[in-house]
Structure 1
Amino acid sequence: MYVTDTENHRIQRFLLNSSLATTVAGTGSKSSALTGLDHPSAVVVDDDYHVYVLDKHNARVVLWGPNATSGTTVISNNALKKTAAMIYVPGSSDQVYISDEDSNKIYRWSFNMSLPTSSLSQVNSTTNALNTPKGMTTDMYGNLYVADYENHRIVMYCANSTVGIVVAGDTGGSPTLDKPMDIAFDSDLNMYVVVDGDNQVIKFPRR
């Protein structure tokens, strides 16, 4: 398990059944140098254990190889200073989704590109745009799910669609969501939502 230790400016790895962590990126002190990090907000790991860190206050995504003592910048853009989360685009090892809670967009970004390939913000609802998007996940079909924090809902973008639909929250159903932070699925596609306002995790059974 890899943990974004934001306030300690590092990424920690916990081996299975171990309570002891190893630092795999950063030094524990805030830094703009490639040997350090400044308030990392997300991490993804590839099959070869390369660690990609969303280094928020340094406005970059940095690659750290196994046993590396410094990183390599693969994305650099000032827009990343207000970002919350990062996940892989399904089926890709060099593209990520990044949520920008300031511009209210989800970027699709390729490594080593100066600008995002595309962005998502529109929602097919009365409230027709994202507002402070935070955590994200995808399902086995390549659909993207976004925790739309200030709109108190979960929005799904079908694969290859640029308009989202509301799947939990402001649909008039129950339970309601008060500032959802993050999302995950289990193997049966039941959805779990971390809710900031209520300090709880809510399960939505597969429909």
Structure 2
Amino acid sequence: MAMANNKRKCFTCHKENNTYTCEGCLKRFCSRHIPEHQQKLNDELSHIIIDYDQLKQKINEQNRQNHSLINQIDQWEMESIEKIQQKAQSYREIVIKFSETSINDIEIRFNDLNKQIQQLKKENDFNEINLNYLKSQLMKLTQELNSPLKISIKEDSESFINEISIIPSKISKFSKWKQNAITVAGGNGQGHELNQLDHPFRIFIDKKKNIFIADGFNHRIVEWRHNAKEGQIIAGKEEGEIVVGGNGKGNQSNQLNNPSGLSFDNKGNLFVVDRLNHQVGKFEIIL
């Protein structure tokens, strides 16, 4: 921050005093309130760091989820390969057994033909008819031996492997909105008055369309009731109503320290993310 001694009105206390200009927001603060302004900046940086850490955690979780999907694909691959190998080995055994049977049959007939040749040679009593017969038998055996096995492979159209598919989640297509927003809460500058907000973080809208706001740097939860006007949902009150907190920054049971989120259960109890107190507070509904 650039500092210059000038008696000007302090943005926080509105008193004439020596003030110092913040180069970021260009507002002037007295020596009493400039540390508070710096603390707000430090608190906001803390929020950014926490949001960054949460996003980093989500990225790591997403990477772990992707790793889990890859493991599933690897497991499917190994199981499929194992099934194929088992089937292939079974088919090999069938082909080998059929081939051995065919060869054995040829060998039996070949040995029988050899006996006939030896018998004719021993007796030395043969003619052209005998020789032609031997030639024809020898030719048949040669053709059968050179011919492919009388067996073939038929491909089945039905797979015995469980196929998998990768199905990306559908990304919702959001509607288009008008480009000019309507202010429904705050809009009266940064401040702690009931018609102002200071770094609001989260909102919750109930069934009656009342707006509950985690008013971070004001350390409170405020409610802005709604009312219909020209068909637009707007904040019906000029000011918000403090629901919880509003007793300054602190760690007492009636205080908050930079609340950043809120929710209700089905009984109407209010739960507040009390960020810089590192806790979630439950504020029970008064019946």
Give the TM-score taking structure 2 as reference length. 0.34
Q: Which of the pair is proportionally richer in strand?
A: 1
Structure label with greater radius of gyration: 2
Give the TM-score taking structure 1 as reference length. 0.46
